[in-house]
């Protein structure tokens, strides 16, 4: 079928507008010159090679990986119980509760970040990776709740009843039926929340103190023009990793909603 050509052109421009800026990142990361501008002087992999030699970068990477992992576990665990309650039970204030859990998606990050900093200082918590973890968990919770809610939506409530009926108690039922059946949703949630934390800048900037996460480290390097190509290389790797993680998460999310035969 032949489509109207103007519509095709519009769709093409749309995608260019969305993704061209992002594509400059990997493109210039292979440029041998240090100035980020056309024409490209020559092709090199040097910037990628040099990444491994920078100790502060490696430290920041470890910080980010650590924070991301803890955030993924925390927010998914919290989201699991919230999602089950939202889908399974009808209770007073349910809509309000669901709305409040989703709120971090729309509150401006800078507001959350500054108020959290004030709160943590008030509580005597020095900015550190711990405060970043707490902030990121707050931010990642809506993602984990919405992914797990869709996993529980497709979960036939009589599966748990069947387990009780067969003489198995509440906790063992959770372990032997609930967890395995929603496990693809759990994996998807952990991947997404990890990515949310790994890529987050504003909160981490406010709350990380002298333990920078990777995005905070990158920001600090952008001020030095000589380091810029290096940052581009690092950014390209992060970009690729994030996309891969999200694709993987989407795969698991879909598996969770099709694994149930209705």
Partner 1 sequence: MTDRNIIELRDVEKRYGTFVAAGGINLDLKEGEFFSLLGPSGCGKTTVLRMIAGFQEPTKGTVLIDGQDMEGVPANNRPTNMVFQSYAIFPHLNVGNNVAYGLRGKAPMAEIDQRVAEALEMVELGGLQDRGASELSGGQRQRVALARALIMRPKVLLLDEPLSALDKKLREQMQFEMRNLQQSLGITFVMVTHDQYEAMTMSDRIGVMFNGRLKQVDTPTTLYARPCDQQVASFIGEMNILPAQLLGETGDTLSIDAVAFGQMEIQRNPNVTTSSREMNIGIRPEQLEITAEEPEDYPSTVQGTVSNVAFYGENIHYHIQVAETEKPISVSVPNYFHTVDFKRGDAVWLGLQGASVIDLGTDTE
Q: How far is the CB of 156 from partner 1 (least distance, A)?
A: 5
Q: How far is the CB of 149 from partner 1 (least distance, A)?
A: 19
Nearer to partner 1, 17 or 91 (CB): 91
Angle, vertex CA 221, rays to CA 217 and CA 226, nearest 5? 155
Binding site for partner 1 (CB under 8 A): 156, 158-159, 161-169, 176-177, 180-181, 183, 259-262
Contact assessment for residue 44 and residue 31, using Cβ atoms and an 8 Å cutoff: yes
- Tell me the CA end-to-end span of the chain in Å, nearest whole number: 36
Nearer to partner 1, 52 or 169 (CB): 169
Distance CA 29, CA 49 (A): 11
Nearer to partner 1, 41 or 88 (CB): 88
Question: In this structure, is the dihedral angle defined by the CA atoms of residues 224, 226, 230 and 235, taken in order, positive or negative?
Answer: positive
Q: How far is the CB of 252 from partner 1 (least distance, A)?
A: 14
Q: For 43, phi and psi rounded to 5 degrees?
A: -100, 140
Closest CA to 42 of 53, 34, 50, 52: 34
Q: How far is the CB of 255 from partner 1 (least distance, A)?
A: 11
Nearer to partner 1, 99 or 180 (CB): 180
Rg of the chain over CA atoms, in angstroms?
Answer: 22
Nearer to partner 1, 78 or 181 (CB): 181
Contact assessment for residue 206 and residue 132, using Cβ atoms and an 8 Å cutoff: no
Residues in the chain: 262
Nearer to partner 1, 64 or 150 (CB): 150
Q: How far is the CB of 163 from partner 1 (least distance, A)?
A: 7
Cis peptide bond prior to 39, omega within 30° of 0:
yes
């Amino acid at each position: 079928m032949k489509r109207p050509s103007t519509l095709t052109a519009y769709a093409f421009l749309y995608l260019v507008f969305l993704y061209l800026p992002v594509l400059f990142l990997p493109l210039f990361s292979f440029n041998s010159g240090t100035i980020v501008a056309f024409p490209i002087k020559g092709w090199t992999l040097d910037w990628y090679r040099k990444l491994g030699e920078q100790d502060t970068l490696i430290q920041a990477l470890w910080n980010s990986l650590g924070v991301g992992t803890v955030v993924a576990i925390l927010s998914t665990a919290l989201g699991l119980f919230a999602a089950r309650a939202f889908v399974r039970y009808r209770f007073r204030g349910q809509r309000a509760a669901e709305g409040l859990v989703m709120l971090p998606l729309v509150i401006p990050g800078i507001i959350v970040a500054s108020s959290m900093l004030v709160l943590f200082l008030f509580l005597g918590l020095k900015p550190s990776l711990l405060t970043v973890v707490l902030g990121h968990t707050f931010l990642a919770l809506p993602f984990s709740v919405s992914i797990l809610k869709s996993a529980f939506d497709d979960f036939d409530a009589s599966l748990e009843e069947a387990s009780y009926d067969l003489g198995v108690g509440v906790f063992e039922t959770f372990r032997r039926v609930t967890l395995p059946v929603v496990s693809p949703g759990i994996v998807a949630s952990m991947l997404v929340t990890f990515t949310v934390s790994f890529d987050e800048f504003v909160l981490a900037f406010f709350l990380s103190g002298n333990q920078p996460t990777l995005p905070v480290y990158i920001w600090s390097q952008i001020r030095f023009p000589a380091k810029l190509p290096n940052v581009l290389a690092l950014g390209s790797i992060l970009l690729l990793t994030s996309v891969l993680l999200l694709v993987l998460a989407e795969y698991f999310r879909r598996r969770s909603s099709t694994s149930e035969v209705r």
